[in-house]
Structure 1
Amino acid sequence: MRIAIGGMAIESSQFCPHRSTYDDFRVTRGADLLGRYTWTRPGGFGTDVEWVPLVHAVALPGGPVERDTYDRIKSELVTRIREAGPLDGLVFDIHGAMSVTGLDDAEADLAEAVRDALGPDALISAAMDLHGNVSRRFADRLDLLTAHRLAPHEDAWETRERAARKLVGRLASGKGRPYRAWVQVPVLLPGEKTSTRLEPAKSLYGRLAAVEALDGIVDAAVWVGYAWADEERCRAAVVVTGDDPDLALAQVRSLAQEYWDVRRDFVFVGPTGDADTCIARAVASPARPFLISDSGDNPTAGGAGDLAYMLGRLLAHEDLASGRVTALHPGITDPAAVAACFEAGVGTRVTLKVGGHISAGTGPHAEPYDLTGTVTALRDPAAPAPGAPRGNPAYDGGGRSAAVTCGGVTAVLTERRTPFHTRADFGPLDPTAYDIVVVKIGYLEPELYAMAADWLLALTPGGVDQDLLRLGHRRVARPLYPFDDAGFEDPDLTPVLL
């Protein structure tokens, strides 16, 4: 069997002023692409498979992808499919929440182009993020599709392997194309309200393995959708794939109904408050380190990552401004400020206008912050110190960074949008040495979760504001919970068999 691997993965907030260009993507081909997956190596499953690498492009979440960037990657993927020769299948490694300027339903457009290039007989198996969107137009072009079952996504690579295993098994069995029972659920919630660490998502997603194990069922998946795009496809979806069409329809109907019935039970994954409330509670708490999520400007959900709003609120607190309490606030994107810090050198006092360059003009929260402080650390990943830890390998390319300390607050400025998810991402700075750590993130990734003595989710403004009603969605299909609630009790959840 000749099975290709390729795709394009990013989630894009249409409420973020950032635009994702080709330089934002990490593009892999050939042996490097096959090397992403353990199961393509000797000893992996599918000994009768020739894995054919196409091209894969992945980027840190951000604003919509520029059309010429999308067209360039799409063209290469389609060309490589046509040049690969006869293919039995494709592992389609995508996200599901990509927005492209001037284009609706980007994943459907990409899937249509891929299907046309492959021809009608090859099978396509998509591995997706549960925060993706699944329109009928998109699902129509696929044969198998599955999504993560954990949020945070500790099973991301397991999901890709499941998509590949299902495809290999399907082709080896000779059973051909399975049925896909599909339905959308008129609910759109942010990921921070749908973590599988908590109910009701824990039980809902916990059902999927049992459904998958039923005789006649191949796979079961639930998507919560992507809340920070504004398209008709943005909503929850359920797909059950199988050879028994009646059973697939029954199971997808049951899962969709459960999702709808528990829609009001989804809660934020941690205690919440506005910025000042969270800061005051963290200062007063004996728990150290106390972590706060600057959730509205989370770059790994699609935020610009350049808002200095939380920095201003931290330094507005007397205990932090005086240094009686210490705080570390990493990840404010500002290449000009970083350059100024490198020019000044460690130990030098600097005055900077921090942040607000990407987000300029989007509101009072996006104004630059006038920061006067001392440069306390510089980091250049191109020239790491001997033995220095490496940053997050999933998102290489954060560039240089500079730490500036004012009172008790140390802000880490970065050349490029970059997340701080692991201990290694902080480089020479030890986050556990500070009383408070304020990270541009939503729910805490595993290492941060383990690090936190206590934690609050700050409902801050930005391109991925958790308060969806503040964003101004105009194009989502209505009625849609939570935008509509009263009098919206009995939606049509009749599944469609594809």
Structure 2
Amino acid sequence: MPQERPVIAVAGLGIESSTFSPARTEAPAFHPQRADEVLTRYPFLAAGTELRAAADWRGALVGKALPGGTVTAAAYAELSAELIERLRQSGPVDGLWFDIHGAMTVEGLDDAEVDLLTRIRAVIGPDVPVSTSMDLHGNVSRALVHLSDLITCYRMAPHEDAMETKERAARNLVDLVTGGGPRPVKAWVPVPVLLAGEQTSTRIEPAKSVYAAVPEVEAAEGVTDAAIWVGYAWADEPRNRAAVVVTGPDRTEVSRGAERLARGFWQARRDFAFVAPTGTLSDCLDEALASSARPYFISDTGDNPTAGGAGDVTWGLQQVLSRPEFKDPSGPTVIYASVPGPSAVAEAEKAGVGATVTVTAGAEVDDRHAGPLTLTGVVHAIRHGDRDAETEVVLRVGSVRVILTRLRKPYHHEHDFTDLDLDPRTADVVIVKIGYLEPELFAMAADWKMALTPGGVDQDLTRLGHHRIRRPMFPFDADMPDPDLTARIVPPPGEPLTGPEE
């Protein structure tokens, strides 16, 4: 029987891994936190909060990496072994919160999250309730649902409800552990659709309405939680596709709710469109220069580091610097974020602010589309201590402010620019390696377009070369027949999982 104050462990590893990027992700990229430090990740588990008091929370290991390439076997072995050992040392638990992303690819593994949770189950046993929280761009195999008791994901893209989702997962787990009721029924429906996140933003239709149905299903009597996963489009594994899971005590209600959500997603498949107007980078630049809207944002989408791109593709920056409009320092002010170049950053640091330097950066990881780029400019700013980039440098090259980094970094916030003595609000054009604009940038942009550029997270999915995903799959098989969208009831962890994954 659970203690009056149940013991709940917290563990997980999370990353989006593009298998179409040549990059590899090593263990330090996960910035792992351990023991009590784990709890500092979650405001709702701060000392004095109601949820913190509801259980004896014990952090094992939680690590989250910036999206990137496939995780090396050595990195996964190191991190997972420590996580398992810390769980083993913590003693018996009454519940476990599995905080993951859901799109981690590891060398030699097809479903890394299932491998990790299988090993966790070997320590905690099959009867301990597990609540799994995920990104909606994660992948949900039947095996992952089988090993979990509760499983949920974000309901917004961009992910403005990330912390709300994690709190829901933790709260539902506490309720399950302390309630003494039966384990939840889990209704899972795989949906053979694989779309990019930029085509499924909940800011616009049809995703806005598709996801609006989730809380309606959750509100039904006999339902604990409901979730729709878009899946992760830039990896090539059998599990990559959309999915729906509804959990709760009432088999009829969870099945009905899961089928409703799955039908809604499938029926909307042809209506999904990019969250912003798209075009070639050249077309986007032409339109930005012709427009009076300032600042005008352009997403350099193919090398987006927050979707799994290597971040060091130079193709986009080469196109920008070749434009005659930007050759003169008095030309339209452009900010470009960013290109990694460790040696370039070191040279600029040595020269100092105000110096003119010639440096070479980029294409150390992904040189398939363009080679390393040599550029001459004035050092505008140098900044140390960034969590991702470590060191950042701004070079003024003509009228372009080029951000160079020691390690790749996403630029999502206004302070990412102002910390470098750059004012994006007064720039004419801001070009960011990103997909849909994150909330601060979206609010700042007077107008914006998505440039369909090459890279490891190319938005044109059909030209990437998927060959291991389950077929038929929309949009790869655009005229495929309607799939079977009946709910599959997945047994609890203590019972065998039989039959092939559908």
In which range does the TM-score fall when normalised by the shorter chain? over 0.9
Give the aligned residue type for 1:420. Y
What residue in structure 1 maps to residue 365 of structure 2?
358
Give the aligned residue type for 1:468. L
What residue in structure 1 maps to residue 22 of structure 2?
17
Q: CA deviation at 1:16?
A: 0.9
Give the aligned residue type for 2:358. T
What residue in structure 2 maps to residue 386 of structure 1?
none
Structure 1, residues 94-121: CA drift from partner, whole Å, max 9, x if none? 0000000111111111111111211011
Give the aligned residue type for 1:370. T
Contact kept, 8 Å, 1:273 with 1:458, in 2: the verdict is yes
Contact kept, 8 Å, 1:2 with 1:49, in 2: the verdict is yes
Q: CA deviation at 1:30?
A: 2.0
1:465 partnered with 2:458? yes
Q: Choose which of 399, 402, 410 in structure 2 pairs with 1:411.
A: 402
Rounded to whole Å, the distance in 2 between the matches of 1:106 and 1:367 is 33
Q: Choose which of 375, 378, 382 in structure 2 pairs with 1:374.
A: 378
What residue in structure 1 maps to residue 111 of structure 2?
105
TM-score by length of 2: 0.94
Q: Choose which of 479, 485, 490 in structure 1 pairs with 2:478.
A: 485
Structure 1, residues 305-354: CA drift from partner, whole Å, max 9, x if none? 11121111112222122342110002211111111111222222222222
Structure 1, residues 354-408: CA drift from partner, whole Å, max 9, x if none? 2111112x2xx23122312222221122xxxxxxxxx6xxxx2311111111111
Rounded to whole Å, the distance in 2 between the matches of 1:132 and 1:265 is 22
Q: Choose which of 189, 195, 200 in structure 1 pairs with 2:201.
A: 195
Q: CA deviation at 1:475?
A: 0.7
Q: CA deviation at 1:22?
A: 1.0
Q: Choose which of 205, 214, 217 in structure 1 pairs with 2:223.
A: 217
What residue in structure 2 maps to residue 156 of structure 1?
162
Counting only pairs closer than 5 Å after superposition, residues 391-410 of structure 1 correspond to structure 2 as 396-410=387-401
Counting only pairs closer than 5 Å after superposition, residues 76-91 of structure 1 correspond to structure 2 as 76-91=82-97
Rounded to whole Å, the distance in 2 between the matches of 1:3 and 1:39 is 15
1:43 partnered with 2:59? no
Give the aligned residue type for 2:73. R
Question: What secondary structure, in the 3-state scheme, does the structure 2 residue paired with 1:64 have?
Answer: strand
TM-score by length of 1: 0.95
What residue in structure 1 maps to residue 36 of structure 2?
31
Bigger CA drift: 264-273 or 319-328?
319-328
Question: What secondary structure, in the 3-state scheme, does the structure 1 residue paired with 2:358 have?
Answer: strand
Question: What secondary structure, in the 3-state scheme, does the structure 2 residue paired with 1:73 have?
Answer: helix
What residue in structure 1 maps to residue 322 of structure 2?
316
Structure 1, residues 392-449: CA drift from partner, whole Å, max 9, x if none? xxxx231111111111111100001111100111212222231100001110011101
Q: Choose which of 192, 196, 207 in structure 2 pairs with 1:186.
A: 192
Contact kept, 8 Å, 1:314 with 1:321, in 2: the verdict is no
Rounded to whole Å, the distance in 1 between the matches of 2:119 and 2:211 is 31
Counting only pairs closer than 5 Å after superposition, residues 414-429 of structure 1 correspond to structure 2 as 414-426=405-417, 427=419, 428-429=421-422
Rounded to whole Å, the distance in 2 between the matches of 1:471 and 1:344 is 41
Counting only pairs closer than 5 Å after superposition, residues 32-181 of structure 1 correspond to structure 2 as 32-40=37-45, 41-45=47-51, 47-181=53-187
Rounded to whole Å, the distance in 1 between the matches of 2:343 and 2:52 is 50
Q: Choose which of 448, 451, 471 in structure 2 pairs with 1:455.
A: 448
Rounded to whole Å, the distance in 1 between the matches of 2:353 and 2:342 is 17
Rounded to whole Å, the distance in 1 between the matches of 2:267 and 2:150 is 27
Contact kept, 8 Å, 1:74 with 1:110, in 2: the verdict is yes
**% identical aligned pairs:** 50
Q: Choose which of 437, 460, 475 in structure 2 pairs with 1:444.
A: 437
Counting only pairs closer than 5 Å after superposition, residues 229-244 of structure 1 correspond to structure 2 as 229-244=235-250
1:305 partnered with 2:311? yes
Question: What secondary structure, in the 3-state scheme, does the structure 1 residue paired with 2:120 have?
Answer: helix
Structure 1 unmatched runs, 5+? 382-390
Give the aligned residue type for 1:399. E
Contact kept, 8 Å, 2:342 with 2:361, in 1: the verdict is no
Give the total of aligned pairs: 481
Rounded to whole Å, the distance in 2 between the matches of 1:380 and 1:75 is 33
Rounded to whole Å, the distance in 1 between the matches of 2:53 and 2:36 is 17
Q: CA deviation at 1:46?
A: 5.6
Question: What secondary structure, in the 3-state scheme, does the structure 2 residue paired with 1:246 have?
Answer: helix
What residue in structure 2 maps to residue 475 of structure 1?
468
Q: CA deviation at 1:36?
A: 1.4
Question: What secondary structure, in the 3-state scheme, does the structure 1 residue paired with 2:130 have?
Answer: strand
Rounded to whole Å, the distance in 1 between the matches of 2:216 and 2:267 is 20
Rounded to whole Å, the distance in 2 between the matches of 1:329 and 1:172 is 52
Structure 1, residues 256-297: CA drift from partner, whole Å, max 9, x if none? 111111101001011110110001111111111100001111
Question: What secondary structure, in the 3-state scheme, does the structure 2 residue paired with 1:400 have?
Answer: strand
Rounded to whole Å, the distance in 1 between the matches of 2:209 and 2:286 is 34
Rounded to whole Å, the distance in 1 between the matches of 2:484 and 2:176 is 32
Bigger CA drift: 73-82 or 5-14?
73-82
Rounded to whole Å, the distance in 2 between the matches of 1:86 and 1:424 is 44
Contact kept, 8 Å, 1:351 with 1:370, in 2: the verdict is yes
RMSD: 1.2
